[in-house]
Structure formats: C-alpha cells, structure tokens
Amino acid sequence: MPRLHVDDSLLLVIDAQDGFYPPSRADVDQAAKNAALDRAGWVCGIAVALNVPVLVTEEDAARNGGTAGPISRWMSAGAPVFTKSVFGAFGNPDIAEAVAAIGRGTIVIVGMETDVCVAHTAIGAVERGLRPVIVHDAVFSAGEGHANGLARLSAEGIERLSAKELYYEWLRDLPSVRAFDAAHPELATPPGFSL
C-alpha cells in the first residue's frame, strides 16, 4: 500500500466514550481501554496540530456519555460531534455527507468498538471508494472483541498501523519531526511509547 499523506487524510473518531465500558465492568481490561483512549487522544492532537480534519461520532451519549477526556481535550471549541445511530458511520447520512464534503481520500480511524462500529465504518469507507486505515493501538473492544475485529479487518484487506507509525507517516522526515516536537512538546511522545 502507498504511504499516507497528511494532506489527503481525515481522522474519524468513532464513539470514544468512557460509558461504553465504565469502571464498574469487572470483565473489561480498563488499563487496555484507557491506553487505547490515550493513544486516540494523542492521534487527535497530532491531527489538529497538522490541520488534518477531525470528525467525531458519539453513540447514545445520554447513556454512554460524551467523548472521553483524552480526545475531547484536543478538540477545538464548537467542533462538530455527530450522533451515530447506525453502527457504521457511513450509514448515518449526516456523517457520510460531512466526510464527502471534506473531500479527503484516506480515513484514519480510532475509537470503539473494534469489532463493531470501527469495523463497520472501515468496511463502509471501502464501499465508498475511500481508503480506511485503522490505528490498531487506538481502538478497543472488550474481551475477544478487539482481536476478532482486527482479524476481520485484516480479512477485508483493511490497513492497520500503530499510532507511532502514523506519527512518522504524517511527518515523513527528521527535520519535520524535530520542528513538530519543538512546536508541540506535549505531543512529542505518544502514550506508552518512547520515540
């Protein structure tokens, strides 16, 4: 697959809401969930700093709460948040229209849940002639759901890369990385990684 280009990328944050897996759920690896949300937030911060458009979806916010703090802290005031009732984002006409209006060909996807909303969204992107790319360490599902979702995405031929790989893919060269890190020291190291 060709490398990603920052000027052809759009970041789609899918249902990155703490309420999907509240701390009361003893069957959920909360550390893994929080790590994925932290990385999704870091990717969002990178996207905002590089002027990559960011679209955010929320499913049943009355029950699941709003977008988690690690992501919402990077969103600009008044950034649109789309209500999603169809699991695949492209099944929601307003989201599909917003993506089309931006006109980027590569859809970088982070959020929850790997095996349902993330997978359905990625497959929907392919159906529309777009190039979905999953940031595999910035998506999450509980239990076997995460591994099952990644396996399905692989079977569908959908690209995956890590948050760290995305960072270097968008910046491309050492001078750009050094300039970015100097301008954005709070984003210089992704959560859980040492660059």
Minimal CA–CA distance to 86: which of 121, 53, 129? Answer: 121
Q: Are 159 and 5 in contact (CB under 8 A)?
A: no
Between CA 130 and CA 103 the distance in angstroms is: 10
Q: Which domains does the chain have, with CATH numbers?
A: 6-187 (3.40.50.850)
The distance in angstroms from the start CA to the end CA of the chain is: 24
Q: Which residues contact 73 (CB under 8 A, 6 or more apart)?
A: 41, 45
Rg value, the chain, Cα: 15
Q: Are 134 and 160 in contact (CB under 8 A)?
A: yes
User: What is the value of pTM for the model shown?
Assistant: 0.95
Q: Are 2 and 98 in contact (CB under 8 A)?
A: no
User: Could you read off the pLDDT tens digit of each residue along the chain, which spans 195 residues?
Assistant: 789 999 999 999 999 998 888 888 888 899 999 999 999 999 999 999 999 999 999 999 989 999 999 999 998 777 889 999 999 999 999 999 999 999 999 999 999 999 999 999 999 999 999 999 999 999 999 999 999 999 999 999 999 999 999 999 999 999 999 999 999 999 987 776 654
pLDDT of residue 116: 96
pLDDT of residue 27: 86
pLDDT of residue 11: 97
